[in-house]
Amino acid sequence: MKDKIIIHSKYQMIQTLENFNEEKIYLVKNIVNNQKYLLQSLDLSLITPEEINQIREKIELIKNIAKQSENNQRFPSLVDVFDEKKAIVIIYEKFEGNNLQNILNSRQLWTELEAVNYLYYLLESLDLIHRENLVHQIIKPQNLTINNQQIFINSYGKLSNLKSSLMETVTLEDKLYIAPEQIRGKIKISSDIYALGMVIISLVTGKNILSLEEDDTGKIIWSEGETLTANFIQIIDKMIAYQTQNRYSNCQEVMADIAKFFPQRVSEKSLDYSTENIAHYTPTEIIIPTEEEEFSQEENYSNSSYLNPTEYVNSNNSNQKEKEIIVNDTELINAEDDIKSLLPLAEEYLSEESKSFSARIDSQNQREISNDNTVSNSSSLLPYSEHKFNLIRQIKTPRGILISFIICILIIFSFSWLKSYLYQKKVESLITEIQSYYEQENFDECIALINSNTVQSLPIANSLTDEFLGKCWLGLAEIQAVDGNFAEAINIAIQINRDSSDYERARQFIDDWSEQLFLEAKILCQTNSELSLIEEKLMPIPESSKWKKDALNLLDQCENNTNDNQVIPLCPGPLCPE
């Protein structure tokens, strides 16, 4: 790190943030007031005169955007612009707050509600530069800052214009969020939308982007095992579509879908601008059951000719939001036997009432026969419909109402007890299974079971997660550490939630494994190994580790020794144009 370099007798370099062939971004400070700023420099000796003119036009557009942003604070304010023969240098303010990479490292993941709100706000910000036909090109967590629930874009992106040539070099960190076509030099507005979609995936799932798999069509598989709505998943999937023709073409199209499927979550600080880019855009269709379909299903069910008590209770339970607990036949039979033992009183009441009712019917028939001898014997008996009517009248008597009430209470109590009994058995079975996986060191199975709908649908899901998930993650991490995979061990252990009972133990392990990575990197540095290998070795050390500062100092020392900023060459290679 060249912290002694002074630029224009005013700004001292502190840290290199972005490093491209012809363009770099630094963190600097004013040597007079120690105020920190961001400095963006462009080496004109590596650019054609035509491109230099286009870049100067872009700077004028950036100045206009900066003036517009003074009221809504979407982008930083410009402080100085130095346009010289060999270089162009731009100084702009540095936003205070915490960048998303630090938030990601500390595992402070977003809920779907937070993600939708922040996404909409960032889309509005990006649209300000996209409407000027500018592309940011370096949207990633490090370049986004949150302060007081407000999110900012730290810079105006690369100075290269929309038709810039192939970006021949890219850092390992950039590769996580860069769009496929951008690597090939075909930069489009939708490239920023792709990058922003990948940022949202990182902050919602906490997953390592490089570890995500793809299907045969190139679609990234990221939502498996996540508790997210279908609307949210489909919007993000369309943002990160591999083929640009399947992706949103501009920010306003994404905002249109968010406004359609999440109308109550749209940012309260939305900008007021025209929507000419989406005048002919049809919002994405997401098929969900309509109220009419649900009503039709309920109506068909209610028209069935017979409904026994068990079906009645199950139909009521189907309208509840709770998950049904699945049990085996043996448990159900045993539970039904217990219920039968609770109903002798109801059977006794029904038996006595039936005998009394039959005696009254016989007495009434005899009286009718004696009063009218012309009536035939076949007509002396009451019709079935009349019997049914008399039964209803008997139920309406005080005695009948009391008996009906007692039966209803018994049925309700019995099924409430049954539900509680089955729930308790289910929880006991799950706890036993989780403990068995842990003791047998089947940590993958343990984690999969805890994160499954079977466990997460239970009311005590949070308690089970806090108690067992951290243990399983830590066990899996220890296996990796024993094999010498300290980086992978850290990536696993860092996923343990702060609410877990194993959080403090995980932090201690992370520090121990970070120390091992530091020592390995130190050996590489002493043997004059490539800087990229040293950087890759130190990268997994999280910000929360006490070894992070030593790792950065070691990296600076190695960088000074080699006097070279390591990058990953992409050309020549399979991604270069023919």
Instruction: Determine if the peptide bond prior to 540 is cis (ω within 30°).
Output: no
State the chain's mean pLDDT as an integer: 75
Mean pLDDT of 361-379: 48
Place of tokens 């530091």: 518
Question: Rounded to 5 degrees, what are φ and ψ at 299?
Answer: -65, -45
Q: Which residues contact 45 (CB under 8 A, 6 or more apart)?
A: 86
Pairing of strands 6-7, 11-19: antiparallel
pLDDT of residue 322: 37
Question: According to the model, what pLDDT value does residue 267 have?
Answer: 47
- Higher pLDDT among residues 380 and 435, named by residue: 435
pLDDT in tens, 282-298: 666 554 444 444 444 44
Predicted pLDDT of residue 109: 92
Looking up tokens 């967590």, which residue turns up? 141
pLDDT at 268 over 60: no
Confidence of residue 237 (pLDDT cuts 50, 70, 90): very high
- Name 199's Cβ contacts closer than 8 Å, sequence gap at least 6: 100, 139, 140, 141, 144, 177
Q: Are residues 164 and 147 in contact, defined by beta-carbon separation less than 8 angstroms?
A: no
Residue 97 φ/ψ region, left for φ over 0, alpha for ψ in the -120 to 50 degree band, beta for the rest: left
| Residue (of 135, 207, 161) closest to 57 by Cα position | 161
Average pLDDT on 36-50 reads 86
> Residues near 515 by Cβ (< 8 Å), separated by ≥ 6?
547
- Residue 4 is predicted with a pLDDT of 59
Mean pLDDT (whole number) for 211-232: 88
Domains contained in the chain, CATH given: 6-93 (3.30.200.20), 98-278 (1.10.510.10), 325-369+380-424 (no CATH), 441-569 (no CATH)
Report the distance separating Cα 407 and Cα 401, nearest Å: 10
Q: What are phi and psi of 211, to 5 degrees?
A: -90, -5
Query: Residue 50 phi/psi, 5° resolution?
Result: -65, -45
pLDDT in the model for residue 288: 45
Token pair for residue 526?
């002493």
Tell me: the pLDDT tens digits for 454-510?
888 888 788 888 888 888 888 888 888 888 888 888 988 888 888 888 888 888 889
Burial profile 269-289: b = 16 or more Cβ within 10 angstroms, e = fewer: eeeeeeeebbeeeeebeeeee
| CA gap 456, 170 in Å, rounded | 41
* Res 302: pLDDT: 40
- The model carries a pTM of 0.49
Q: By C-alpha distance, which of 163, 167, 95 is closest to 138? A: 167
